[in-house]
Amino acid sequence: MASTDWIVGQARWIALAIAVIVPGILNPNFRSYDNLQGFLQSIGILLILAMGQSFVLLIAGIDLSVGAVVAMGSVILAALLQAGWPLWAAVAATLASGLGVGILNGAGVMILKIPSFIVTFAFMGICFATGLMISGGNRIGLPSGSLLPQLASGQLWGAPLQIILALALLIAGTFGLRHLPIGRHLYAVGGNQEAARLSGVSVGRATLVAFALSGFFAAIAAVVYAARIVSGNPIGGGNLNLQSIAAAVIGGVSLFGGRGTLLGACFGAILYSLIENVLNIYNVNPNITEIVAGVIVLLAGLINVLTDSKRSIA
């Protein structure tokens, strides 16, 4: 029994090892420099979203609006740049839109005491509709000569800029969770809301901060997304909800709140992207990739239940 527990506990490391070693040995395309470069260029969005989602999962919530915030944010960014706004102002407005959605999500959960999945589901619809309204339903290209696409593919000391951005967010977020009072409050609220409240933690403020951070991180991901596809796409980001939740949970962030780290979420994002990359290399039908994504969510949920002693006894 103990040994099965150990295996379940280490399942994610075993999975990562298999995901790297097996295709690494079998497929020269997988270990090619081009594939590795492309892989690093492609994972920034999921890394950032998985960290954002983790803040909400830590307080035992869920944020189904992140994919829609990415779509809406990319449209806002492209539209503002087309309107002649300077890059910094357009990026700031995009980040503010995501932060605003996050605050509204948090306020809905905090003030109205509505389950987070239904609040964020409602905002998913509202954000997609906003993006469609602004763009008229079409993609909006970035103005030619925009600096943004260069940033997406840019490198600093050989590392892609978006990886450096994700790393900076990881360091800042981890510091905040570990060393700031609000960070410890997120864990406390997710661990036991009633106990947290009785020991003087403001549950409402922690809730608001968690959703605001998730919206903010989603808006950062929206900037990276727009830079990558060189446009604003009002119907993009559809699978990102599922992927961000899957990545966080694979990385050990508990669905029941109170447990997990941003580093773990990043690990989950890398593992998830590796699996997709391998499927790509073997030319697997992208529709099958969607099936695999669903199975990964189910498996991650199952492993979470098996390893989390705090799971519901019902």
147 CB neighbour count, 10 Å cutoff: 11
Choose between 176 and 268: whose C-beta lies nearer to another protein. 268
C-beta of 122: minimal distance to another protein in Å? 4
Could you say whether residue 174 binds another protein (CB under 8 A)?
no
Choose between 53 and 162: whose C-beta lies nearer to another protein. 53
Of the CA atoms within 13 Å of residue 1, those in its CB half-sphere come to 0
Applying the rule CB under 8 A, the residues between 231 and 290 that interact with another protein are 239, 241-242, 245, 249, 255-256, 285, 287-290
Choose between 35 and 280: whose C-beta lies nearer to another protein. 280
278 CB neighbour count, 10 Å cutoff: 19
Could you say whether residue 307 binds another protein (CB under 8 A)?
no
Choose between 104 and 166: whose C-beta lies nearer to another protein. 104
For residue 226, give the 3-state DSSP assignment: helix
Query: How many residues lie near another protein (CB under 8 A)?
Result: 49
Find, among 84, 85, 124, 83, the residue nearest to 101 by Cα.
124
Q: Which x/- pattern over 211-240 shows residues binding another protein (rule: CB under 8 A)?
A: ----------------------------x-
Instruction: Find out whether 99 and 215 touch, Cβ atoms under 8 Å.
Output: yes
C-beta of 282: minimal distance to another protein in Å? 16
Choose between 15 and 170: whose C-beta lies nearer to another protein. 15
Place of tokens 């991180």: 217
C-beta of 311: minimal distance to another protein in Å? 7
Distance CA 123, CA 95 (A): 16
Residues 6+ apart with CB under 8 A from 157: none
Distance CA 238, CA 246 (A): 14
Answer for which of 42, 121, 141, 192 binds another protein (CB under 8 A) is: 121
141 φ/ψ angles, rounded to the nearest 5 degrees: -70, 155
Q: Which x/- pattern over 30-69 shows residues binding another protein (rule: CB under 8 A)?
A: --------------------------------x-------
Could you say whether residue 297 binds another protein (CB under 8 A)?
yes
Identify the burial level of 45 via C-beta atoms within 10 angstroms of its C-beta, where 0-12 means exposed, 13-18 middle and 19 or more buried.
Answer: buried
Cα separation of the two ends of the chain = 23
Which positions touch another protein (CB under 8 A)?
A: 62, 108, 112-115, 117-119, 121-126, 128-130, 132-133, 239, 241-242, 245, 249, 255-256, 285, 287-298, 300-302, 304-305, 311-314
